[in-house]
Amino acid sequence: MSDPIRLDIEDSIAIITLARPEKLNALDEAMIAGLAAAAERIDRHGSIRAAILTGEGKGFCAGGDIAAWGKVSPLDMGQRWVRDGHRVFDALTRLRAPLIAAINGHALGGGLELAATADIRIAEEQAKFGLPETGIGMVPGWSGTQRLVTRFGAAAVRRLALTGEIVTAERALQLGLIDEIAPRGHGLEQARELARKISARAPVANAVAKQMINAAEGEDAAAAIEILAGSLVSYTDDLKEGVASFVEKRPPQFKGQ
């Protein structure tokens, strides 16, 4: 069996591909684990300046695989399935490198929640979007009622979640679910072009700008403040003096610089 998540690195651009086309890239436990590993590798790879998330075959992601979660116990549903998904989706959202979703087909339920982890979403013209969970007695579980509301607005998410309506790429653009529409088969190419544009800019400035925007949306705001503060003081002579004095076992002589 091939790896259901592929990670390819092209110069300064990482491409994450959901590779379970026979199931329209529906997410199971192996794919969740693969996404977690990909996110960790990207964040530890210092030369990556932009990342792309896409799907293999005709679909971007059909959501959580019902066969995978349909028989899960109520306790495991909350403690394992939902929690694991949140942990991985949070990691993708908080990648240092800007993330672009190249949506090459349907993004439904967990697939739309996955697309929402990206900073920018490019959808091919045939893609469709929706939150169909309530039609089978389930609710959105991977931040469909939280991150989606922050990023897309409560009115749009309320309509999708409560009616189960499936919308076209054109309608998704009007609702703010996506940022651009690409011709069929050209979503990844358009995403690569945008990733190259992002990669040409100052990577530290881009990473900090992304952190500040995420914080404004409520994405790990406390950590963002401490990350930026820690980075700032690490440039000071006082820190160098503090470390040197500790190593040399003497009182520090701070100069406020």
Active site members: 113, 133
> Which ranges constitute the DSSP H helices of the chain?
29-44, 66-69, 74-76, 83-93, 110-115, 147-152, 154-163, 169-175, 187-199, 203-216, 221-233, 237-248
Yes or no: say if 245 and 239 are a contact pair by the CB < 8 Å rule: no
Strands 128-130 and 167-168: antiparallel
Assign 110 to helix, strand or coil.
helix
| Cα 3 from Cα 147, distance rounded (Å) | 28
Task: Supply 21's token pair.
Answer: 């086309």
- Rounded CA gap, 95 and 6, in Å? 17
Sign of CA dihedral 198, 204, 205, 206: positive
Dihedral sign, CA of 186, 95, 107, 128?
A: negative
